[in-house]
Amino acid sequence: MKSILLTFIITCIMNSVTQSQTVIPLYKDAIPNSKPTKDEETTEYPNGITIISKISRPTLTIFLPEKNKANGTAVVICPGGGYWVTASSHEGTDVAKEFNKIGVAAFVLKYRIPNDATMINREIGPLQDAQQAIKMVRDRATEWNVNPGRIGIMGFSAGGHLASTTGTHFDKALIPNAEKTSLRPDFMILIYPVISFNESIGHQGSKEKLIGKTPTPEKIKEYSNELQVTNQTPPAFLVHASDDDGVNPLNSIRFYEALVQHKIPAELHIYQSGGHGFGMKQKNENELWMERCRNWMEVNGWLKK
């Protein structure tokens, strides 16, 4: 009897885990803008951080909250890594679990790393994957108990550049979209984001990986997202540290200024210290930006059932 009961409990636990953390291919059929190549993806764990490199097969990892907690809001999460790798745990899955605690469905995007060997046009590959993630969540909203009008995008560092690009370049579909599903995220959450490719404040490593070593001025402007804000840009929540020596905090400041100029609802938190890449855990444990983010979402009505 005890063994039967134990088996039942383990089965229930496994079913719960399976339902809340399902990994699916991002594209049902062929991956657009992709060259036929061998899958060379690798995963390493330096200092307990999960780092994935050479990504050419994008996926979406689904984290659904308990049904009695779910409020219908969803977030697509883009981990950072300089468009070179992705830090998929502390800027991805760990964050998704926190969103589940407040009733928000979370979808961690493993987007393609820009690479001429795997892509026809490397500069649009990550954006295609982000657009596809928004489209997939919106198209399958009923299945995942999501409100199609409450789907946001979140990004850390270079993932913040991808998220802000998704929020400012949604008018042009770079993926098949016969259903004409809206590719516009309903809000953006940008954590120490790369925003600009401008020489003075931009992150040159991310710029080089995405658009090359000698991009034209027009290309630099196209991917400097503080210059791409319009009256249709989604609301945004931004976090940065003053002493960030990886991505200049002026990236967040310039983007915030552009949002305010266009009367887009926005909130910006610049902390005195914290450096770069801290995920949810700043050195000063009293600084809980995730709690500030929850308050912002609540004020905007995204946590209402």
State the pLDDT at residue 20.
Answer: 54
Give the CA count within 13 Å in the CB-facing half-sphere of 13: 6
CA distances, 203 to each of 111, 140, 193, 253 (Å): 19, 35, 10, 14
Closest by CA position to 281, among listed 152, 94, 107: 94
Q: What H or E segment, with its residue span, contains residue 100?
A: helix 94-101
Architecture of domain 2-299: 3-Layer(aba) Sandwich (3.40)
* Domain segments of the chain as ranges: 2-299
The pair of structure tokens assigned to 299 is 């004020």
Q: Which residues pair with residue 53 across a beta bridge?
A: 42, 85
Q: Which residues contact 119 (CB under 8 A, 6 or more apart)?
A: 33, 34, 35, 112, 125
State the pLDDT at residue 21.
Answer: 80
State the pLDDT at residue 142.
Answer: 97
What whole-number distance in Å separates Cα of residue 305 and Cα of residue 291? 19
Per-residue pLDDT of the chain (305 residues; tens, 9 = 90+): 444 444 444 444 444 443 458 999 999 989 999 999 999 999 999 988 899 999 999 999 999 999 999 999 999 999 999 999 999 999 999 999 999 999 999 999 999 999 999 999 999 999 999 999 999 999 999 999 999 999 999 999 999 999 999 999 999 999 999 999 999 999 999 999 999 999 999 999 999 999 999 999 999 999 999 999 999 999 999 999 999 999 999 999 999 999 999 999 999 999 999 999 999 988 777 778 999 999 999 999 999 98
